[in-house]
């Protein structure tokens, strides 16, 4: 395309094309000619990301550039505004940026900034009832707000809240917020300290929600999952006192990193609510204990086809027979096809591998080992897996070896292990240290 053809394009088309450039480079296009001088104001997507090299470590330069960029583009509709900065910025500027952005009829707003002196930014109240067109909202790294009674996000489909604290008392903020988002499909809530200043349960109730990510700590209040159409769940938390409602009938994939912290907590309903899942991952060895303490509550996972678990070496006095849970879950997964072990496979000196059985009809066809070091205990557990999983067709091993001699030893050891006649072993090596 020559210059004449480009110049034949309308200002709005050129502005849309320029929107795909980093904002700083898009701003430089005004130097190309007189005709291009004001095209920056036609940008449909405004991405203002702090650049250490450009700003030279000076947050004030970024603030000035952002102020000018918002002012230049303020006369025309903007679909998306993203502001990201890892330098402290004063609250007045951030609040002003949000207020100016909301007047554009935005479809997407992404604000990821660090509060001045570690304090949280106060969200302007109009963000909760003037965003009729907003489809995606992301607020990250420190905001505080009071949820008004007339909150409304009629078009919102994606909501991401990282370290946003609400000051409301006497109501469940999350429940109120979800009720104001009738078409919400994706929700991420990260609350490293507290989500709400007053004690209140977390009610996740939505018939439209399909993807949910929650990361909470230091909280024992009840939590509900009334999400019948949820497909994906990623949940990191301490076990709650109770889970009164767990409705996860449509759940396909779940990733759990849940540990005991408070006494008197009851994970029974949460465990039972996972019964329809197809892909299950337990992200830490600590999560095993949740299932180990409630073996009678583990449901039959009729749809489960892939199970991933993070393992680690733990003192025997902490989780006695912690591998026993694996046999229980495998036996209760009649259609399980793939088993993924992330972590060392060491055998404790007191462990009796021969007593562990995964069921004579165990259907597992693929076994994946991601951190194999070739130690004697690991080889013993590999022998155990290949002996007790009669339907295995493929074993994939990511092994760690620092030289060719170790690679050769590990390869010979694994290929000598007795295995089902149709089973193939594939070994890949990583020369880095085991994580």
Tens-place pLDDT, residues 398-428: 998 888 999 999 999 999 999 988 899 999 9
pLDDT value at residue 31? 47
Any domain includes 57:
yes
* Distance from C-alpha of 333 to C-alpha of 345, rounded to nearest angstrom: 22
Domain interval for residue 70: 1-107
* Distance from C-alpha of 84 to C-alpha of 377, rounded to nearest angstrom: 48
Backbone angles phi, psi at 384, to 5 degrees: -65, -45
Which among 257, 366, 370, 359 is positioned nearest to 306, based on CA atoms?
366
Structure-token match 């965003």, residue found: 131
Any domain includes 79:
yes
For residue 268 the two structure tokens come to 């029974």
Given pLDDT bands bounded at 50, 70 and 90, which one contains residue 319? very low
Report how many domains make up the chain: 1
Any domain includes 335:
no
DSSP-derived secondary structure letter, 118: G
pLDDT score of 300 more than 80: yes
Any domain includes 44:
yes
C-alpha dist (Å) from residue 260 to 217, 264, 287, 294, 400: 11, 10, 8, 13, 32
Any domain includes 56:
yes
Any domain includes 212:
no
Most confident of 95-99, 181-185, 264-268, 382-386: 181-185
C-alpha dist (Å) from residue 129 to 74, 77, 80, 181, 333: 21, 19, 18, 11, 47
pLDDT value at residue 281? 94
Any domain includes 221:
no
**Which of the residue ranges 151-155, 196-200, 274-278, 391-395 would you say has the lowest mean pLDDT?**
196-200
Most confident of 121-135, 292-306, 345-359: 292-306
Any domain includes 55:
yes
What pTM does this model have? 0.84
Question: Contact 33/3 with Cβ under 8 angstroms?
Answer: no
For residue 395 the two structure tokens come to 């074993």
pLDDT value at residue 51? 62
């Amino acid at each position: 395309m020559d210059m004449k053809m480009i110049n034949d394009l309308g200002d709005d088309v050129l502005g849309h094309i320029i929107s795909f450039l980093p904002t700083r480079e898009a701003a430089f296009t005004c130097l190309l000619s007189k005709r291009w001088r004001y095209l920056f104001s036609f940008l449909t997507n405004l991405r203002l990301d702090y650049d250490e090299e450009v700003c030279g470590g000076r947050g004030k330069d970024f603030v000035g550039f952002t102020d000018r960029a918002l002012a230049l583009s303020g006369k025309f509709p903007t679909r998306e505004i993203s502001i990201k900065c890892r330098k402290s910025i004063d609250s007045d500027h951030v609040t002003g940026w949000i207020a100016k952005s909301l007047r554009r009829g935005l479809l997407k707003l992404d604000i990821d900034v660090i509060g001045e002196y570690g304090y949280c930014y106060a969200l302007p109240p109009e963000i909760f009832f003037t965003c009729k067109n907003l489809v995606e909202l992301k607020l990250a790294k420190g905001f505080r707000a009071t949820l008004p009674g007339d909150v409304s996000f009629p078009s919102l489909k994606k909501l991401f809240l990282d370290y946003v604290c609400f000051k409301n008392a006497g109501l469940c903020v999350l429940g109120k917020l979800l009720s104001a988002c009738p078409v919400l499909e994706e929700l991420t809530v990260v609350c490293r300290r507290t989500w709400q200043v007053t004690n209140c349960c977390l009610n996740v109730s939505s018939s439209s929600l399909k993807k949910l990510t929650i990361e909470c700590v230091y909280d024992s209040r009840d939590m509900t999952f009334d999400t019948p159409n949820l497909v994906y769940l990623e949940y990191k938390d301490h076990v709650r006192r109770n889970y009164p409602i767990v409705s996860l009938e449509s759940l396909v994939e779940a990733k759990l990193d849940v540990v005991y912290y408070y006494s008197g907590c009851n994970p029974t309903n949460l465990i039972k609510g996972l019964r329809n899942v197809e892909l299950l991952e337990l992200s830490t060895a600590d999560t095993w204990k949740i299932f180990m303490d409630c073996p009678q509550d583990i449901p039959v996972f009729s749809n489960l086809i892939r199970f991933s678990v993070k393992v680690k070496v733990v003192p025997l006095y902490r989780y006695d027979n912690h591998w026993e849970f694996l046999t229980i879950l495998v036996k209760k997964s009649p259609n399980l096809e793939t088993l993924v072990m992330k972590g060392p496979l060491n055998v404790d000196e007191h462990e009796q591998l021969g007593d562990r059985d995964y069921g004579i009809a165990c259907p597992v066809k693929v076994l994946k080992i991601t951190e194999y070091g070739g130690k004697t205990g690991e080889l013993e557990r590999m022998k155990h897996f290949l002996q007790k999983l009669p339907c295995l067709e493929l074993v994939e091993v990511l092994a760690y070896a620092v030289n060719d001699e170790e690679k050769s030893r590990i390869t010979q050891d694994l290929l000598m292990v007795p295995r089902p006649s149709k089973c193939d072993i594939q070994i890949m090596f990583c020369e880095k240290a085991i994580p």
